[in-house]
Amino acid sequence: MGVSDRAEAALGLLTDRPLVVLTGAGLSTDSGIPDYRGPGAPRRSPMTFQEFVSGPAAQRRYWARSHLGWSRMRRADPNPGHLAVARLGASLVITQNVDGLHERVGTTPLVALHGRIADVVCLACRRTSARSALQDELDRLNPGWVARHAHVAVNPDGDVELEEDFGDFVVPACRCGGVLKPDVVFFGENVPRERVAHCYGAVEALAEGTRRGSLLVAGSSLAVMSGLRFVKRAASLDVPVVIVNRGSTRGDDLATSTVSAGCSAFLSALAERRASARTSDSARGAVS
């Protein structure tokens, strides 16, 4: 079966069924944000939570790099894949991405599994605030930092590839004196239980009724368990799983159908088909 035949088979599993969508970094590559594990992606080692809380040196290193990454990530625009996902009429969209691009196009209902890089939380008082305000303060405290490092590459989590002495980089504290952290799940942290339970519930609901729904994975290699567990749960319930991704994924053996391709074209085609199917259903209902 060729790639086009695989895509056609996958579309057939997704067009007129209830749908849950799980998205990963591959969905945002068309917005200029690189993914972690796509073909040709360099090996990266994101900072762990344990390293971040180890002391001021690690926190300066994180914020100095993240300040550069966010200065560009905040300017990224949603691409046709994000727009298509918003049109699918899914019962839930689960994103592993922290870039906020699903939110920008108004995708609902949505669970940002790993949080949003646009939010900041204090590890002491748990107060949350806007990243934009911290960005302005970092600019004020570290004049010229962004301009001096305009060449560095941005990672999907808003970090950058940069190694140097960060000892002079100034990081403000929360107004309570606590340590500020982006409100995202770092490696070494657990996704909040209520988020996981909500996502499990949506996946399990696909097994109910006379016609099973489908789980669509778009742009994720499923290399970490935070996303793979939903594929495992769907497969255990005999819910069809479709994976669309550039290259192989850790969930391929569990999938009903796989399409090795970028996300935007496939998702746009799926959105059109589901819209047509809904129109046809409405027309039949009016006639009856």
Paired sense of beta strands 128-130 and 110-112, if any: unpaired
The answer to whether 125 is annotated as binding is yes
What whole-number distance in Å separates Cα of residue 161 and Cα of residue 159? 7
Please tell me whether residue 219 adopts helix, strand or coil conformation: coil
CA dihedral 269, 273, 276, 281 (to 10 degrees): -160
**Nearest to 159, CA basis, from 184, 122, 191:** 184
The answer to whether 174 is annotated as binding is yes
* Helix %, strand %, coil % of the chain (to 5): 40, 15, 40
The answer to whether 199 is annotated as binding is no
Radius of gyration of the chain measured on its C-alpha atoms: 20
Catalytic choice (67, 82, 102, 114): 114
114 is catalytic: yes
What's the Cα-to-Cα distance from 162 to each of 61, 131, 165, 238, rounded to whole Å?
9, 21, 10, 45
The answer to whether 122 is annotated as binding is yes
Phi-psi region of 105 (alpha: psi -120 to 50; beta: other; left: phi over 0): alpha
What whole-number distance in Å separates Cα of residue 121 and Cα of residue 125? 8
What's the Cα-to-Cα distance from 62 to each of 78, 98, 114, 199, rounded to whole Å?
26, 16, 17, 30
- The enclosing H or E element of 254 equals none
Active-site amino acid positions:
114
List the binding residues: 122, 125, 174, 176
List the binding residues for Zn(2+): 122, 125, 174, 176
